[in-house]
């Protein structure tokens, strides 16, 4: 038997490689602060569970492929409220934002086609693209610029006859960067001039702490070419529900997306019922979540910037910080923290950033930090990180990069 090149050539997640080490450390009785996880820790609104408990049918039947009509209405109302004019017919319920990404890639690219994407980017993009035989073409961004975009020419020079789309995450994972209006206008002009689709992953829309945030669908000139990827995973701290959405105002594109949705028949009924009930979530939920994450961001940045040799800029959104550490190889350091180091019986787990880059060697000295712990735990975790770096660089590591 022979496995497909499709699966054999797919990269492995560099974060997953560290999990056995974290498990070992926990078995040995150590406390591990998880700064590696991209999953919010705030409670899911109770209305979600109430919605599930209200399920009274005797048969758990298939839902319509595009999603429960009521949920499509709820999503549409949410977008209209946010100034994003989407009707239920312009929306599909998906199995998380992950399936929305898969459908977007499948709808706009054939095998061998290319998608431009600012780098670093969310690791699953590489896995999905690789499984579909799509080439991601990274456009580099840098920690010194807060991962804001380079000038238009950097995108233009990477466009080839096979380029089909530009993929952007706003606010960003792993960067936390929120693009300015000027950056968005530059991208809007680019996709129009080169007749590309714009796959806009906006799953962190509700987590913006600074500046003005806009959705790409707020640009009417882009309506025919934007595929909007979304999810309740982060918005409502409901990662396990597996409910997302894909939206497009172009009916020709929508018709093709419906066909893709039919291949998996339907999304889970009960979770859609829960998601419908989330419509009752009061506005304070988002306000409080935002304040909580903003406080955590500020604690994290202050602590990180006080560690000698660590470099990071204050991100404007999401709940991630991409930081450069004074080490040559952040993956080795992250493994050492779990395997060989503890401070009063505790250590931290980091996400090495090389997995968020396609360009070889980029991100080797960087880590992604998710501030999804309570403030006091974050403060402890950064104390451990600072001490870990001091010990590592004075006893273990070879050459140290300084900044």
Window contacting ligand PLP (CB under 6 A); options: 90-98, 144-152, 176-184, 301-309: 90-98
CB of 319 to ligand PLP, least distance (A): 10
Q: How far is the CB of 370 from ligand PLP (least distance, A)?
A: 10
In the complex, what is the shortest distance from the CB of residue 234 to ligand PLP, in angstroms, rounded to a whole number? 7
Is 96 near ligand PLP (CB under 6 A)? yes
126 binds ligand PLP (CB under 6 A): no
- Decide: is 239 part of the binding site for ligand PLP (CB under 6 A): yes
Closest to ligand PLP by CB, 235 or 303: 235
**Shortest reach from residue 66's CB to ligand PLP, in Å:** 17
Nearest distance from residue 202's CB to ligand PLP, in Å? 9
CB 174, min distance to ligand PLP, A: 8
| Number of other residues whose CB lies within 10 A of the CB of residue 263 | 9
Place of tokens 């300084």: 402
- Does residue 122 belong to the site contacting ligand PLP (CB under 6 A)? yes
Cβ–Cβ < 8 Å for 328, 398: yes
Binding segment (CB under 6 A) for ligand PLP, from list 92-100, 136-144, 177-185, 294-302: 92-100
Under rule CB under 6 A, residue 170 binds ligand PLP: no
Number of residue whose CB is nearest ligand PLP: 96
Based on the shown chain and the rule CB under 6 A, indicate whether residue 120 belongs to the binding site for ligand PLP: no
DSSP 3-state of 97? helix
Measured from the CB of residue 78, what is the shortest distance to ligand PLP in angstroms?
15
Angle between helices 269-277 and 46-53 (to 10 degrees): 130
Distance from chain centroid for Cα 226:
18
- Tell me which stretch binds ligand PLP (CB under 6 A): 56-64, 93-101, 179-187, 276-284: 93-101
Q: Smallest distance from the beta carbon of 104 to ligand PLP, in angstroms?
A: 11
Question: Taking Cα atoms as reference points, which of 159, 168, 171, 166 lies closest to residue 204?
Answer: 171
- Distance, CA of 4 to CA of 2 (rounded, Å): 7
User: Which of 173, 237, 342, 393 is close enough to bind ligand PLP by CB under 6 A?
Assistant: 173
Sequence-separated contacts (24+) of 220-224 with Cβ below 8 Å? 221/188, 221/192, 222/188, 222/191, 222/192, 222/198, 223/249, 223/250, 224/249, 224/250, 224/253
Structure tokens at 147: 């991962």
Q: Name which position in 14, 47, 76, 98 contacts ligand PLP (CB under 6 A).
A: 98
Q: For residues 196 and 281, what is the distance between their CA atoms, to the nearest angstrom? A: 36
Q: Which of 169, 170, 175, 347 binds ligand PLP (CB under 6 A)?
A: 169
CB 174 within 8 A of CB 356: yes
Tell me the site size for ligand PLP, rule CB under 6 A: 13
Site for ligand PLP in 207-236 (CB under 6 A): 231, 233
Q: Coil, strand, or helix at residue 226? A: strand
CA distances from 270 to 56, 113, 233, 239, 327 (A): 10, 37, 16, 15, 47
Contact 320, 350 (CB under 8 A): no
The set of residues, in sequence order, having a beta carbon less than 8 Å from that of 123 and lying 6+ positions away, is 13, 14, 15, 355, 356
Which window, 25-33, 95-103, 145-153, 376-384, contacts ligand PLP (CB under 6 A)?
95-103
Question: Binding pattern to ligand PLP, positions 174-203, x when CB under 6 A?
Answer: ---------------------------x-x
Largest CA distance in the chain: 66
Locate all alpha helices (DSSP H) within 109-144, ordered by sequence.
123-132
If binding is defined by CB under 6 A, does position 38 make contact with ligand PLP? yes
165 versus 203: smaller Cβ distance to ligand PLP: 203
Output 38 or 355, the one with its CB closest to ligand PLP: 38
Closer of 11 and 251 to ligand PLP (Cβ):
11
Name the segment binding ligand PLP (CB under 6 A); options: 59-67, 96-104, 345-353, 363-371. Answer: 96-104
- Regarding 354 and contact with ligand PLP (CB under 6 A), the answer is no
Residue 163 near residue 116 (C-beta atoms within 8 A): yes
DSSP helix/strand/coil, 322: strand
Residues near ligand PLP, by CB under 6 A? 38, 96-98, 122, 169, 173, 201, 203, 231, 233, 239, 244
């Amino acid at each position: 038997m022979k496995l497909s090149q499709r699966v054999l050539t797919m990269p492995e997640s560099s974060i997953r490689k560290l999990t056995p080490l974290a498990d070992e450390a926990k078995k040995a009785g150590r406390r591990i602060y998880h700064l590696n996880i991209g999953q919010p820790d705030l409670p899911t609104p109770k209305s979600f569970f109430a919605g599930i408990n209200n399920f009274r049918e005797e048969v758990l039947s298939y839902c319509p492929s595009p999603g429960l009509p009521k949920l499509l209405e709820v999503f549409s109302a949410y977008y209209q409220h946010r100034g994003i004019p989407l009707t239920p017919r312009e929306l599909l319920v998906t199995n998380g934002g992950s399936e929305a990404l898969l459908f977007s890639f499948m709808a706009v690219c054939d095998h061998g086609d290319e998608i431009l994407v600012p780098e670093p980017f969310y690791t699953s993009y590489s896995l999905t693209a690789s499984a579909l035989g799509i080439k991601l073409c990274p456009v580099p961004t840098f920690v010194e610029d807060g991962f804001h975009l380079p000038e238009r020419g950097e995108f233009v020079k990477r466009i080839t006859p096979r380029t089909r789309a530009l993929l952007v995450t706003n606010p960003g994972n792993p960067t936390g960067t929120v693009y300015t209006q000027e950056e968005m206008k530059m991208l809007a002009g680019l996709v129009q001039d080169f007749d590309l689709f714009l796959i806009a992953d906006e799953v962190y829309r509700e987590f913006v702490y600074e500046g003005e945030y806009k959705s790409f669908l707020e640009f009417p000139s882009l309506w025919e070419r934007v595929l909007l990827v979304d999810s309740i995973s982060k918005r409502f701290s409901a990662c396990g529900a597996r409910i997302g959405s894909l939206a497009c105002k172009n009916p020709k594109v929508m018709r093709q997306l419906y066909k893709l949705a039919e291949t998996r028949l339907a999304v889970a009924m009960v979770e859609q019922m829960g998601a419908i009930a989330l419509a009752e979530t009061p506005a304070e939920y988002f306000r409080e979540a935002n304040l909580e994450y903003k406080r955590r961001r500020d604690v994290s940045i202050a602590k990180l910037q006080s560690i000698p040799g660590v470099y990071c800029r204050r991100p404007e959104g999401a709940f991630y910080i991409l930081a450069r550490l004074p080490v040559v190889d952040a993956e080795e350091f992250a493994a050492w923290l779990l395997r060989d180091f503890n401070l009063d019986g505790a250590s931290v787990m980091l996400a090495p950033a090389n997995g968020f880059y396609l360009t070889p060697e980029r991100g080797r000295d960087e880590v992604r930090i998710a501030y999804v712990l309570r403030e006091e735990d974050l403060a402890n975790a950064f104390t451990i990180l600072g001490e870990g770096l001091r010990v590592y660089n004075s006893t273990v590591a070879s050459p140290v990069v300084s900044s």
